[in-house]
């Protein structure tokens, strides 16, 4: 039976550590502050934003939430970002994606002060990640690396296959695995012989956004499988990109959905906010 890599358990340990550091920072006169911007009423985004706000409060951080109407213009959104850039109480700025179609995501990301870009999406932070000399890491890939470390799974010398090449997960995940001395293959919609490539993976990271896409015939015996997906199956039940029931018996370790990567993403957002706040003391 595969080792279950529980994001709930690991994120609880990470948050306990962060809470202690937040208290120590407060004793020096600094309370880490996170501002979250959400535009429109997308239900999934509302859930994520609510969870981030609750976690801030739980860890003793300062939180501001800006709920903007669907009709918000680029100019209005950029003006809010600029205001938060100048606010000394705010150490992290997060604009919940996706934005409504009429808004320019790239312009908004580029407008966030790189030192407050706790999503690590700004081009300056992306470049630093490429070089391995970074201030922040994207929250989901950082959470995955934390899970592997906590579970005593060392990527060094292993073949890691990442399915998906998004800027949010796939590409930075590949970079972090390279920094950990794994050999990395990135697969995507144009990849040929996908099953064959996946079957060679010691560590398989599924970030494709398709319910139960990864099946048992794509997984090598003894592989570690990390499921980034958050989908609904044919019965409306939450599921990942991996067909857990068929894949789990073949793995040495696997993350569940829900309760796997998801909780880690929020924990690492809090870590980035704490890191930003600590830098103000320098």
Just list the catalytic residues. Answer: 52, 96, 119
Report in angstroms the alpha-carbon separations of 118 from 59, 71, 162, 279: 16, 26, 23, 13
Catalogue the long-range contacts made by 21-29 (C-beta closer than 8 Å, 24 or more residues apart). Answer: 21/274, 21/278, 22/59, 22/60, 22/61, 22/274, 23/60, 25/274, 25/277, 25/278, 25/281, 26/60, 28/281
CA pair distance 15, 57, nearest whole angstrom: 12
Task: Please choose, from the candidates 220, 224, 227, 248, the residue with its C-alpha nearest in 3D space to the C-alpha of residue 154.
Answer: 224
DSSP string covering 162-178:
EE---TTTHHHHHHHHH
């Amino acid at each position: 039976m595969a080792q279950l890599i529980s994001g709930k358990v690991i994120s609880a340990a990470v948050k306990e550590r962060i809470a202690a550091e937040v208290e120590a920072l407060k004793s020096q006169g600094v309370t880490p502050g996170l501002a979250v911007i959400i535009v429109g009423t997308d239900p999934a985004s509302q859930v994520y934003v609510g969870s981030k706000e609750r976690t801030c409060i739980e860890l003793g951080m300062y939180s501001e939430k800006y709920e903007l109407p669907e009709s918000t213009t680029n100019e209005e959104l950029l003006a809010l970002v600029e205001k938060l850039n100048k606010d000394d109480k705010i150490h992290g700025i997060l604009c919940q994606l996706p934005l409504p179609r009429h808004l320019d995501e790239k312009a908004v990301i580029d407008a966030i002060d790189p030192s407050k870009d706790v999503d690590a999406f700004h081009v300056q932070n992306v470049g630093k990640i490429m070089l391995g000399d970074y201030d922040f890491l994207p929250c989901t890939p950082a959470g995955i690396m934390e899970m592997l470390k906590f579970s005593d799974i060392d990527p060094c010398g292993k073949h890691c296959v990442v399915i998906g090449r998004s800027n949010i997960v796939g590409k930075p995940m590949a970079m972090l695995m390279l920094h950990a001395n794994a050999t990395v293959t990135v697969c995507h919609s144009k990849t040929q012989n996908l099953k064959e490539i996946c079957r060679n993976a010691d560590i398989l990271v599924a970030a494709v956004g398709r319910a139960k896409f990864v099946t048992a015939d794509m997984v090598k015996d003894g592989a570690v499988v990390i499921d980034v997906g958050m989908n609904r199956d044919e019965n409306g039940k939450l599921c990942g990109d991996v067909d857990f029931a068929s894949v789990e018996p073949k793995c040495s370790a696997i993350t569940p959905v829900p309760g796997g990567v998801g909780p880690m993403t929020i924990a690492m957002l809090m870590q980035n906010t704490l890191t930003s706040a600590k830098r103000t003391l320098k």
